[in-house]
Structures are given as C-alpha cells and as structure tokens.
Amino acid sequence: MADYQAPLRDMRFVLNEVFDAPSLWASLPKIAENVDPDTADAILEEAGKITGGVLAPLNREADEQGCKWNDGEVTSPEGFKEAYQTIVEGGWNGLGGNPDFGGMGMPKTLVAQFEEMMQGANMAFGLAPMLTAGACLALDAHGSQELKEKYLPNMYSGVWSGAMDLTEPHAGTDLGIIRTKAEPNDDGSFNVTGTKIFITWGEHDLAENIIHLVLAKLPDAPKGPKGISMFLVPKFMVNDDGSLGERNSFSCGSIEKKMGIKASATCVMNFDGAKGWLVGEENKGLAAMFTMMNYERLGVGIQGIGAAEASLQNAREYANDRIQSRAPTGAQQPEKAADPILVHPDVRRMLLTMKSYVEGGRTFSTYVAQWLDISKYAEDDERRQHAEGMVALLTPVAKAFLTDRGLETTIIGQQVFGGHGFIREWGQEQLVRDCRITQIYEGTNGIQAMDLMGRKVVGSQGKFYELFAQDVATFIEENSSDAALKPYLEPLAAALERLSDVTEHVINQAGDNPNAIGAAAVDYLDMFGYTALAFMWAKSVKAAAPKAEGDTSGFYTGKLKTARFYFDRLLPKTVSLAEGIRSGSESMMALAANEI
C-alpha cells in the first residue's frame, strides 16, 4: 500500500495554471484581505504534510477497529483523538469559516484542495471536520447574532464539533414527512423530541461538545417540507460564561454496522425533550439547510475524488512493481521473470481511466468552487447572479458525477491489483467500501439527477444550462486558432452540441409527460458530467501545451496524453447516453408494479 501523498503538483497546476486563482482572489476584496498566492501556497504545503503525515497513517487500522458504542458513549479508533487535536491546533477546522467569528475566511477554491487531501487520506476522519463546517455554514447564514457568538468560535476552532440531524427511520429523501417535534418553552427555547438516524459523528470522544442542528416540526406546523424548522441542540448546555453546563436530554442509542467509513460513528440519536434553539425562521428549516447544501454537496463530490486519488496512487505503484507476463511486443525487462504489468495495454487503460477521472474531477471541483467563491464574494450583482446560476446548475453534477466516477475509479484501482485487490491489507477494497456511501448520502445520486434535470434545467427553461453552454462555447471560440487545442476543440464542440440537443429534447418532452424528467435524469447528469470533464481537459491542454515542449518532468506531456486518452476513450460514452435518454420514459413506466 502506497503512502498517501497529497497531489500538490496537480493542485497547483489546477489552481494557478488552469484557473489563475490568484487573479480571481485579487478580484474579490473580501477574499483578497485574507489570502495571497504565497499564503495559499504555504497552506497547501502544510495541508499536504498534515494529511499525509498524520491522517493517512491511521486510515487502515481505523477501518479494522471501527468506532465502539457503549451505553451511549462512542469511542473513536486509536489515534483519532490525537489527530483531531492536531487538526484543531493547526486551525484547519475553520479554514473557510467567517473571520468575524474566528474563521480564517479562505476561498472555497483553496479549501476544496484541503478537503480533497483530508478525504483522500482518511475519509472516515474527514467527515468530522466536514460536518462541523456544514453546521457552521448553516448557523452563520441563519443563526441569530447571539447563537453565532455563543457557538461559532468554538466550532470553527474545533473545540466543539457539529452534526446535522435530518434523517429519520421512515424519512430520508422525503424530509417532508419527518415526525420529530419541537415544543416551545416560556424562555424562548424548545423541547425537541424524536429519533434521528444516520447521524454522522453524532456522538464521539473527539471534541468537548457536539452541536446538533436538528430538523423538527413545531406544533401546528404545515404538513410537508414547508412545516420544518431547524434547531440548535447542544450535547452539553453552554453557560453564559461559555463554560459547559449539564448534559442535554438526548443520547446516542446505537451506531450502525456498515459497509465502509467504519471509523466514523453513524449514530441513532434519541431526543427526549432536549433543549434547543430555533435557527432562522419558523418553518423555513429546509430552506436554511439548502444554503449549506451547495457546499456540502461539492464536499461529497470531493470525497469521491479523494478516494479515487488514493486508489490511483496505490494502483500505479502496484502496476510498476508487480511483474506478470510479457508485453505483447516482446519483453521490456528481460532480466526479470516477467514485465511489470504497466506494459499491458489493458492495465494502462485502467490507469489512464483513473487518471482522467481524478485529474479531470479535481479540475471540475475547482471550477465549481470558483463559482461558489464568486457567488459569495463578488460585489457586482450581475457577476454574482451569474455565478449563483452556475452553482445551482453545477452542484448536483459535482456531487453525483464525481462520486460515480470516484467509485468507478476505486473499483478499477482494485482490479489493477487482481486478487490482492480483494484483500484488506492492501487498502484498495477499503477505498471502494468507503467511497460507496458518497453516492448515497447528501441526496442520492438519483436525487441529484432529478435536481439537475427537473429543478435546474427544465425548471429554469434552460436558462441555467445556457450559462454553462456559453462558457464552453466562448472557450472554443476564443481558442479556435490555437493549433495545439484544435484536436480537442472539435470533439468538445460536438459533445456540447449533443448535450444541448438532448437538453432541448427533454425540456420539450417534459411539457406533456411528467415522467420524462425522471426517466432521463440519471443518464442526463452522466452525459453532462462527461461533457464538463471534456471542457476541463481542454482547459488543461490549453494550460499545459505551451509548457510541454522540452518538458523533462513528464508532467505537461502527461497532461496532453491523458487528455487525448479522455477524448478517445471516455468522452464517447456521451453517444450511448444520448441514445438512452432519447428513448423516453415508456420502457420504464409500462410495467405495473406487480409485473416487475
């Protein structure tokens, strides 16, 4: 098993050479206050050290140990407590947080790189800071000044952690039907009662306090999603002087035995008249959740890339070391019993597929992060709204496409190992098991596809889609005279046209057929993702081509060759997807439930 090394070289390429992030940051005054290229670079360097040196070495053993539940208390695997302390001391927990309350105010473009490293090094661990960051976002956006002052500083520092309590045994995707109740008290607080499940890091021994954001219904609240409110429910009450008071009346009833991310506690939380405070407005809890959803969903997409990167690092090391059979064109290493398996075309196909997804995916997640930064920090209304449209459109793609490709990559990474890939000690099968949840939580990928196709594309009558299509079209036009780019621009233009045609087709169908969106959704998201990755690879070629001449490191020439592989071997998937989408919904809906 290779030691995880943060892919800093590629991250710098993406940030500086593909997107020129420093210029973006300079254009956003609130960001420019906090970061310059040198600071950003130092942060990357340190992040690489801490994720590779502290988090990654714990990953394998923690999977074997898992979390332990005992009478409401959860013990994390060996080393997690110390590692968490290191993260807290380094200030990593509040990297993207609001500086008014102790956050560091770093742009998402940069934070995304740190997240990828953390998730690639140790996903089960990485979920703890991730959940805290999500809770902080929601609190920062919707909490009262009093709540923010009381809770945010300790959450940004990581002394306290956060959890998001949405799902109930009977309600996951469909939060409109949750049953947890919140009864008002005279002092302005509420008594929260109900059972929540699948609460990631809902209970643990890493931090002094755990701040739960709980969705619940007020008495007489309207039915459905419009009757849900959000409450802050701390594990320990917080006294006025900031010290911790008595234990609140809720506890962790059990933790789940699950396929992967075993080192993170997935908790059943029983709230028994627990004291909580309303966050945001009554009955607007779901809307409040949505403000952080875009960040969280990108974060989950990034988990997919992180796992994929770790798998790629292992696979290429193995492919270089493992000797087996001879190259079809004759022995490459005649002094050995056989050639390294990297000589075999099919092994290369596997590695190049992995590399295409990982590096293309990293570029895409940074692209989306860039729109998040603009949407949050741009001072010009038009620029901000444009970015908000892009974020709305691209978020479900980032979440679903990157986790789908993430899982595919980890499965391929396992295949490169042959039988050893199935054995736990090599680590490849763990990455598959860990990555598998990313397609499910934070809205299943089917739900993401419905969000993209239904709410974003059809819902805006193609308006959001046009923003993206225009960005691609502009790139193609601006670079039309670039000879190095030409072989990529033509298939990119063809892929864009194919996607635009299909988009129009589904928008038209959706008018008369309510099932048209659901029938097309997953294939459409996939097709969108492949097209977007083609755009990313074309952008990477543009950045790499001028430097490829005389490149002895292999980095830039490698970029060009991987791009070529992507266009030759992976982009053609859009052809099949388009055909499937055009076949419509009839073949899916014709069977009665009992006929299936």
Partner 1 sequence: MPDYKAPLRDIKFVMTELLNSEQHYANLEGAEDATPDMVDAIIQEGAKFCEQVLSPLNRVGDIEGCVWSQDGVKTPTGFKEAYQQYVDGGWPSMTADPNYGGQGLPSSLGLVMSEMVGTCNWSFGMYPGLSHGATNTIEEHGTEEQKQTYLTKLISGEWTGTMCLTEPHCGSDLGTLRTKAEPSADGTYAITGTKIFISAGEHDMADNIVHIVLARLPGAPEGTKGISLFIVPKCLPNEDGSAGERNAVTCGSIEHKMGIHGNATCVMNFDGAKGWLIGPENKGLNCMFTFMNVARIGTAIQGLGAAELGFQGSLTYAKDRLAMRSLSGAKNPEGIADPIIVHPDVRRMLLTQKAVAEGARALIYLTAQQADVVQRGKTPEERKAADEALGFLTPIAKAFLTEIGYEAANLGMQVYGGHGFIAEWGMEQNVRDARIGMIYEGTTGIQALDLLGRKVLMTQGESLKGFTKQVHVFCKENADNEQLKEFIEPLAAINKEWGDLTMKIGMTAMKDREEVGAAAVDYLMYSGYAVFAYLWARMAKVALDKMAEGTSEEMFYNAKVQTARFYFKRLLPRTKTHAETMLAGSASLLDMPEEAFAI
**281 is a catalytic site residue:** no
Choose which of 65, 249, 254, 585 interacts with partner 1 (CB under 8 A). 585
Which residues touch 147 (CB under 8 Å, ≥6 apart)?
Answer: 139, 232, 277, 279
Choose which of 54, 517, 538, 545 interacts with partner 1 (CB under 8 A). 517
Choose which of 114, 441, 468, 475 interacts with partner 1 (CB under 8 A). 441
Q: How many residues bind partner 1 (CB under 8 A)?
A: 101
355-374 positions binding partner 1, by CB under 8 A? 355
304 binds partner 1 (CB under 8 A): no
Choose which of 33, 45, 61, 174 interacts with partner 1 (CB under 8 A). 174
333 binds partner 1 (CB under 8 A): no
Q: What are the φ and ψ backbone dihedral angles of 238, each rounded to 5 degrees? A: -110, 120
The C-alpha atoms of residue 199 and residue 255 are separated, in whole angstroms, by 9
295/567 with CB nearer partner 1: 567
Catalytic hit among 17, 168, 309, 442 = 442
> Exposure pattern of 28-58 as b/e (b: 16+ CB <10 Å)?
beebeebbeeeebbebbeebbebbbebbbbb
| Nearest distance, CB of residue 186 and partner 1, angstroms | 32
Residue 512: burial class (beta carbons within 10 Å; 0-12, 13-18, 19+): exposed
| Nearest distance, CB of residue 19 and partner 1, angstroms | 19
Apex 261 CA angle, 55 and 248, nearest 5: 90
Taking CA atoms, 282 is separated from 69, 191, 230, 394, in Å, by 35, 15, 8, 29
Q: Which helix (H) or strand (E) holds 391?
A: helix 381-416
Binding pattern for the stretch 547-566 against partner 1, x by CB under 8 A and - elsewhere: ------xxx-xx--xx-xx-
The C-alpha atoms of residue 457 and residue 451 are separated, in whole angstroms, by 8
Which range in 31-39, 116-124, 320-328, 480-488 contacts partner 1 by CB under 8 A? 320-328
Amino acid letter at 559?
A: K
Which range in 97-105, 361-369, 392-400, 409-417 contacts partner 1 by CB under 8 A? 409-417
256 binds partner 1 (CB under 8 A): yes
Let me know: does 175 contact 166? Beta carbons within 8 Å.
yes
79-98 positions binding partner 1, by CB under 8 A? none
- Which tokens go with 30? 């609130």
133/351 with CB nearer partner 1: 351
| Nearest distance, CB of residue 99 and partner 1, angstroms | 35
The C-alpha atoms of residue 577 and residue 447 are separated, in whole angstroms, by 18
252 binds partner 1 (CB under 8 A): no
| Nearest distance, CB of residue 123 and partner 1, angstroms | 13
Q: Nearest CA to 300 among 417, 444, 169, 94?
A: 444
| Nearest distance, CB of residue 54 and partner 1, angstroms | 24
Which residues touch 98 (CB under 8 Å, ≥6 apart)?
Answer: 105, 136, 140, 152, 156
5/291 with CB nearer partner 1: 5
309 binds partner 1 (CB under 8 A): no
329 binds partner 1 (CB under 8 A): yes
Most distant pair of Cα atoms in the chain: their distance: 83
Choose which of 25, 69, 92, 198 interacts with partner 1 (CB under 8 A). 198
- Which tokens go with 411? 């499965």
Choose which of 58, 307, 437, 533 interacts with partner 1 (CB under 8 A). 437
424 binds partner 1 (CB under 8 A): yes
17-76 positions binding partner 1, by CB under 8 A? none
122-161 positions binding partner 1, by CB under 8 A? none
| Nearest distance, CB of residue 149 and partner 1, angstroms | 34
3 binds partner 1 (CB under 8 A): no
| Nearest distance, CB of residue 415 and partner 1, angstroms | 7
| Nearest distance, CB of residue 362 and partner 1, angstroms | 13
Give me the residue label for tokens 């996903």. Answer: 123
Let me know: does 406 contact 303? Beta carbons within 8 Å.
yes
Q: Which residues are known catalytic residues?
A: 442
